[in-house]
Amino acid sequence: MRSTLRTRRPNRKGRAAKAAAAVVAGAMALALTACGGDGNDDTGSDGGETEKAATVKLPKLDGQKLEVAAVWTGPEQDNFTKVLDEFEKRTGAEVSYVPTGNNTSTFLGTKIQGGQPPNVAFLPQVGVLHQFADKGWVKPLSAEAQAQLDKNFSAGWKDLGAYKDKQYGVYAKAANKSLVWYNTAAYEAAGITEEPKTWDEFVQTAQTLSDAGSPAVSIGGQDGWTLTDWFENIYLSQAGPEKYDQLAKHEIKWTDPSVKEALTTLAQLWGKDDLIAGGKAGALRTEFPKSVTNTFSGDTPAAMVFEGDFVAANINADTDAKIGTDAKVFPFPAVGAESPVVSGGDMAVALKDDKGSQALLTFLASTDAAEIWAAQGGFVSPNKEMDLKSYKDDVTRDIAEALLAAGDDFRFDMSDQAPAAFGGTQGQGEWKALQDFLKDPSNVDGIQQQLEAAAAKAYEG
């Protein structure tokens, strides 16, 4: 057990969470309209007509070279580059970007131990922050960065980036990971007029779509992290927030009956090859970006894909589908009494103790950076002071409003709270176990044993 693992969040049944869920449900139930482009007018760096005055003061860094590392590739990388471009423009620094691949902690650990860490890195797992802080690899925020963080972020998001009474991280990018995106043409062809609200309705909808000739659900099973999100949403809705917190801290074992129930529920979908695009074998060969393009392009697109708000970036960049018209979204269906709300995010930290690194963290904590990023699409920020008009489309704006309405009343991604060896490494731990489960969904007890063995080893380590 890692006593330092910070996982407890306020009870999701509070009024803020119910308000947020209402916002999401109401927004998604509407005939959502369209990609506006109004956000682009808010930032000079994105070619808008008027340039918004800077709200954060940055030092001059002429000639300094900085390196930033994060997991994003493709459209997500392109969108983030717009933020770095503005930082370069304001400071005179030269910033290069390097993708980490899915094994972020391994990539960064190798760079750090080799004496060549990037200046700033985005950590997708809270557990990695704790491990890096224990090793002395991350640097606390400067007074300037802390001031922006205090001004623009709620206590819950600040707490996730803190460890042992020191503030290290800025959650510049957040995610609502409880969304199902669907191809409206596939729904219409199958005669489906209502979005499913419960798990039973969701499975039945998938069967109706399959019977009508559409691959029902596209799953990016080659990327194990997507499978952890499936499990977490089912577990949170079915077992409840208290059990969720206990499992996240490994206070209960993965052999607990509540885990068996969640896996058995998940097998109702994963156990039916005809409901999965390409079948189980095809899903295990499909990376996350491809799972999105499989849903909104091609001759026989899939009807649905589950993942967070960042799906919008792939839809915008890699397909001709229009969000709100061709592509719509609804909350993850309720397995228990309520639909789940699982949040995730990427935390920026400094791996070098220098002026440039802290200046970039200061900028990333500002409303300026959040608004530039939001204008690109496929991005949600927990920055509570940013102008919501910056968001590129109404769908994403509604998702962002729901996130802010929840305040500190949310549950954070369970696997991202775990030690990286269990919750954040390709080919091992939870990622590997759930890929094995997708391959053979009948092996519930065996997968529970596999999960518990890996968790016990990682948490004790």
| Residue 6, pLDDT above cutoff 70 | no
Count of CB atoms situated within 10 Å of the CB of 11:
13
pLDDT at 26 over 70: no
Q: Average pLDDT, stretch 129-144?
A: 96
pLDDT of residue 7: 31
Q: Distance between CA 209 and CA 454 in Å, rounded? A: 37
Check pLDDT > 50 for residue 19: no
Please give the average per-residue pLDDT across 83-112, as a whole number: 95
Amino acid symbol at 167: Q
Query: Which H or E run contains 163?
Result: strand 162-163
pLDDT band per the 50, 70, 90 thresholds, residue 50: very low
Q: Rounded mean pLDDT of 173-192?
A: 96
pLDDT above 70: percentage of residues in the chain? 89
Distance, CA of 32 to CA of 396 (rounded, Å)? 10
pLDDT value for 288: 96
Mean pLDDT across the chain: 89
Percentages of the chain per state (helix, strand, coil), in multiples of 5: 50, 15, 40
The answer for residues whose C-beta is within 8 angstroms of residue 64's C-beta and 6 or more apart is 91, 92, 93, 94, 355, 356
Q: Residue 171 — very low, low, confident or very high, per pLDDT cuts 50/70/90?
A: very high
Phi, psi dihedral angles at 4 (to 5 degrees) = -85, -5
Tokens representing 407 are: 């305040």
User: The whole model's pTM is what?
Assistant: 0.80
How many Å apart are CA 353 and CA 65, to the nearest integer? 14
Please give the pLDDT value at position 395: 87
* Residue that the structure tokens 């791996």 belong to: 351
Q: What is the pLDDT of residue 51?
A: 57
**One-letter identity of residue 205:** T
Least-confidence region, from 32-41, 254-263, 392-401: 32-41
Tell whether the torsion through CA atoms of 431, 432, 433 and 437 is positive or negative: positive
If you average pLDDT over residues 357-372, what whole number do you get? 98
Give the integer Cα–Cα distance in Å for 64 and 85.
14
Q: CB within 8 A of 230, min separation 6: which ones?
A: 219, 266, 306, 434
Between residues 196 and 50, the one the model is more confident about: 196
- The closest of 167, 294, 150 to 222, measured between CA atoms, is 294
Instruction: Measure the N-to-C terminal CA separation of the chain; round to a whole number of Å.
Output: 9
Q: What percent of the chain has pLDDT over 90?
A: 79
Q: Tell me: the pLDDT tens digits for 410-443?
A: 789 999 899 989 998 889 999 999 999 999 999 9
Q: Indicate the pLDDT class of residue 402, thresholds 50, 70 and 90.
A: confident
Mean pLDDT is highest, among 200-209, 314-323, 389-398, 412-421, for: 200-209
pLDDT of residue 4: 25
pLDDT score at 44 = 37
Q: How confident is the model at residue 146 (pLDDT cuts 50, 70, 90)?
A: very high
- All structural domains of the chain, each given as residue ranges with its CATH number in brackets, are 15-176+344-412 (3.40.190.10), 179-340+427-460 (3.40.190.10)
Where residue 48 falls among pLDDT bands split at 50, 70, 90? Answer: very low
Q: Read off the pLDDT of residues 372-399 as tens digits, 9 standing for 90 and up.
A: 999 998 899 999 999 999 998 888 899 8
Assigned token pair, 87:
């930082």
**Cα separation values, 88 from 73, 102, 146, 147, 228, Å:** 20, 27, 21, 21, 36
pLDDT at 20 over 70: no
